């Protein structure tokens, strides 16, 4: 095999992958309280992008907590490690040319800052899905707030663990009042804007 140095051509580049997929690879990072609407928005955005012919993938509790992070619990240290792994996987997927939608509470500023620094500035869209705690708790779709209040779950964001609001998110959504269509439109517009100076070869 040593003779075949013609094969030592190196790897295909990110630019080549992105060109082949004809899209701007990006990480759309949805952060907000449990029940704020992250999953609904992630699915609606995925639908819109897929329908528009783009190649997109959602990273959320369903496919991360049972797999890559199945060895982690919900202590502070484990939650930090969970977000770190999600950020690293997002980076790999963006490097592969995909649009990745991350839907995790990701309550700590420092963790989101670490995620952001893995990407180019035009690749990372932090979306603050901002719904008041009272509304999220009243909705309580997964029954988690009830468990947090009666102590069955500890370190629950908003109840027994802090949520640190983004200071300068690319998109800030009043998700308790803004219809899903309008939320998606705001994210879409921001994505297009970042895509503005991006040219396919």
User: Which residues are designated catalytic?
Assistant: 106
Site membership for a second copy, residue 77 (CB under 8 A)? no
Q: Which of 167, 158, 162 is nearest to 139 (CA)?
A: 158
Q: Which CB, 53 or 150, lies closer to a second copy? A: 53
Kindly give, in sequence order, each residue whose CB lies less than 8 Å from that of residue 198, ignoring residues fewer than 6 positions away.
24, 122
Site membership for a second copy, residue 175 (CB under 8 A)? yes
Instruction: Kindly state the smallest distance separating residue 57's Cβ from a second copy, in Å.
Output: 4
What one-character DSSP code corresponds to residue 35?
T
Binding string, residues 124-153; x marks residues near a second copy by CB under 8 A: ---------------x--------------
Q: Which CB, 98 or 148, lies closer to a second copy? A: 98
Q: Which CB, 153 or 180, lies closer to a second copy? A: 180
Residue 136 vs residues 24, 61, 108: alpha-carbon distances, Å? 33, 18, 18
Residue 43 vs residues 7, 47, 74, 193, 199: alpha-carbon distances, Å? 42, 6, 25, 21, 27
Task: Give the DSSP H/E element, type plus range, for residue 58.
Answer: strand 56-60
Instruction: Kindly state the smallest distance separating residue 97's Cβ from a second copy, in Å.
Output: 7
Site membership for a second copy, residue 159 (CB under 8 A)? no
Q: Which range binds a second copy by CB under 8 A, 15-23, 119-127, 162-170, 185-193? A: 15-23
What are residue 170's phi and psi, to 5 degrees?
-65, -35
Report the site for a second copy in 178-197 (rule: CB under 8 A).
178-181, 183
Residue 147 vs residues 20, 70, 76, 135, 157: alpha-carbon distances, Å? 47, 22, 18, 16, 12
Q: Which residues pair with 28 in a beta bridge?
A: 101, 125
Which residues lie near a second copy (CB under 8 A)? Answer: 1-4, 7-12, 16-17, 20-21, 37, 40, 43-44, 46-47, 50, 53, 55-59, 63, 67-68, 71, 81, 85, 88-89, 91-93, 95-98, 118, 139, 175-181, 183
């Amino acid at each position: 095999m040593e003779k075949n140095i013609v094969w030592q051509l190196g790897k295909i580049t990110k630019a080549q992958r992105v060109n082949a997929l004809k899209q701007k690879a990006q990480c759309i990072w949805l952060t907000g309280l449990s029940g704020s609407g992250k999953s609904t928005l992630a699915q609606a955005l995925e639908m819109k992008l897929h329908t528009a012919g783009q190649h997109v993938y959602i990273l959320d509790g369903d496919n991360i907590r049972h797999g890559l992070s199945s060895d982690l619990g919900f202590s502070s240290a484990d939650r930090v490690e969970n977000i770190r792994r999600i950020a690293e996987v997002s980076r790999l997927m963006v490097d592969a040319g995909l649009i990745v939608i991350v839907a995790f509470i990701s309550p700590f500023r420092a963790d989101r800052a670490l995620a952001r620094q893995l990407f180019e500035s035009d690749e990372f869209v932090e979306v603050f899905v901002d719904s008041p705690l009272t509304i999220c708790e009243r909705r309580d779709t997964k029954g988690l707030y009830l468990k947090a209040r009666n102590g069955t779950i500890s370190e629950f964001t908003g109840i027994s663990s802090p949520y640190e609001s983004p200071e300068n998110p690319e998109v800030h959504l009043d998700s308790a009042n803004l219809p899903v269509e309008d939320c998606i439109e705001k994210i879409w517009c921001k994505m297009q804007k970042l895509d503005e100076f991006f040219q396919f070869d």
